[in-house]
Amino acid sequence: MRLSWQDLGKPRADKAGGKAVEVAGFPLTLFSTGTADHFLMMAEPGCCQGCVPNNPLAVVEIFADQPLKLGRGALRLHGTWRVSSDSDGWRYQLHGASVTPGMTRRALMAASPLFCLPVPAMAQIADGTAVDVHSHAGNIIQMSFGRGQALAVATPMSQGGVSAICLAVVSDSPIITTSGGRLRPGRDPRPGELYTFSQASFPALHRLAREQNLAIVRTAAELRAARSSRPSVIVSSEGADFLEGRIERLDEAYQRWALRHLQLTHYRPNELGDIQTEPSVNGGLTAFGAEVIRRCNQMGIVVDVAHGTYELVKKAASVTTKPLVLSHTSLTEKPAAWTRRILPDHARAIAATGGVIGIWPIPAYFPNIVSYATDGFARMVDVAGIDHVGLGTDQLGLPGGSTMPSYADLPQLATALRTRFNAEETAKLLGGNYRRVFEACIG
């Protein structure tokens, strides 16, 4: 059985106890040595004990019957998997470990360098103020359908220094299906169907917040005060489909459900405009879409143009009086058909409003946290500027898994960012920029 780092903390890893497994990663020992029979293994290379993540789900403790030759690169080991109940130790252990000859392609891709920062510097970066611009943490997508089980949100946020997340319901879920290898609308919604669905989705989000003692952010002052010691959520909707062309429902969502972040479109060309993954039918933003933006500006709701076409974004930028957010994407110079990535001009259109672009950790684009920082964040900063890039994990919303599957891993991302950016710039990327935009939009 082969385990990946994305499996840790999930049922697949927890149920593997006592089984023969294989895992690839980078060894780290207390002292510099070429061989060892007891050491730690991580997903990223490290150079000292200060590189070890402060997250028991991101490390495997290795026990070998005889010393293993470590070298400087990644190892692929096999042995017996054990899940420890020791609260002071590492949760996962590999016993009777031995080296498997050869390397997996994923392990080779993961072998980019990670420079070490002192522990105090890491603590300063993960200062409890980070904000995720787009998330489905807690299994909210399945909860919205009334099935599945809520997953821990507050605990990993506190561990990683995340103060708030924009937690999104998905307004077009009932009609979305997989076709031709991508998510698409399978049919037209029935009259009233998507609004009715939202009346189950928003309560599910609020219930999760209550159960995990997550504060609901309604004002700019509440976001300014938010810290990871008591994490918060900003109620979001991915897609404004629940409006069904009726502007008064926006007021209702604001007042009844504390909606403060609205993404105009998702996987269905809707009453507001066109999307990147379907043929354009509206010429970008519709008249109703422009009306919704103006009303959001007046009420104090962040407008998110993720999934919208470049034409939609350009028209939205001409309508809005507040900064726009594009919550989860990454940069490309050569777009594939129906891509959700964006070109430089698309990014600059968001930046020109004073807005923020969230970078998502898709393994196909960024196979490890180092590349997520240096290829994802840094490339977008080069195009849009340091004040216009943020964290958009789309947690539990990425069908192919995530390069950063847990908020507890955020200090690793912060450390990787510090190889390119100073402390103030890193703080902007991990939440400061979105806080500024939220305050400008909410008033």
Question: Which pLDDT value is given to residue 1?
Answer: 87
pTM (2 decimals)?
0.77
**Where in the sequence of the chain do the CATH 3.20.20.140 domains occur?**
121-442
Question: Which pLDDT value is given to residue 414?
Answer: 92
Could you tell me the sign of the dihedral formed by the alpha carbons of 364, 151, 189, 171, in that order? negative
Q: List helix spans (H) across 147-227.
A: 154-160, 193-211, 220-225
Question: Which pLDDT value is given to residue 115?
Answer: 39
Residue 420 — φ and ψ, nearest 5°? -120, -35
Please tell me the distance from the alpha carbon of residue 105 to that of residue 89, in angstroms, as a whole number. Answer: 30
Please tell me the distance from the alpha carbon of residue 166 to that of residue 172, in angstroms, as a whole number. Answer: 18
Q: Which residue, among 370, 359, 427, 367, has the nearest Cα to 393 in the 3D structure?
A: 359
Q: Are strands 232-238 and 215-216 parallel, antiparallel or unpaired?
A: parallel
Domain 5-111 indexed as CATH 3.40.718.10: no
Question: Which pLDDT value is given to residue 443?
Answer: 86
Question: Which pLDDT value is given to residue 77?
Answer: 92
Question: Which pLDDT value is given to residue 31?
Answer: 59
Contact 427, 387 (CB under 8 A): no
Question: Which pLDDT value is given to residue 109?
Answer: 42
The set of residues, in sequence order, having a beta carbon less than 8 Å from that of 159 and lying 6+ positions away, is 54, 55, 407, 408
351-361 pLDDT tens trace: 999 999 999 99
CA diameter of the chain: 71
The set of residues, in sequence order, having a beta carbon less than 8 Å from that of 129 and lying 6+ positions away, is 161, 163, 226, 227, 228, 427, 430, 431, 432, 435
Question: Which pLDDT value is given to residue 126?
Answer: 52
**Where in the sequence of the chain do the CATH 2.40.50.870 domains occur?**
5-111
Structure-derived torsion over alpha carbons of residues 399, 226, 381, 424, reported in degrees to the nearest 10:
-140
On the 0-12 / 13-18 / 19+ scale of CB atoms within 10 A, 115 is: middle
Report the residue count for the chain. Answer: 443
Question: Which pLDDT value is given to residue 100?
Answer: 82
Residue with token string 């209702």? 252
**CATH code for the domain defined by 121-442:** 3.20.20.140
Residue ranges, the chain, pLDDT below 70: 30-33, 44-56, 71-73, 87-88, 102-127, 143-148
Residue with token string 């993540």? 53
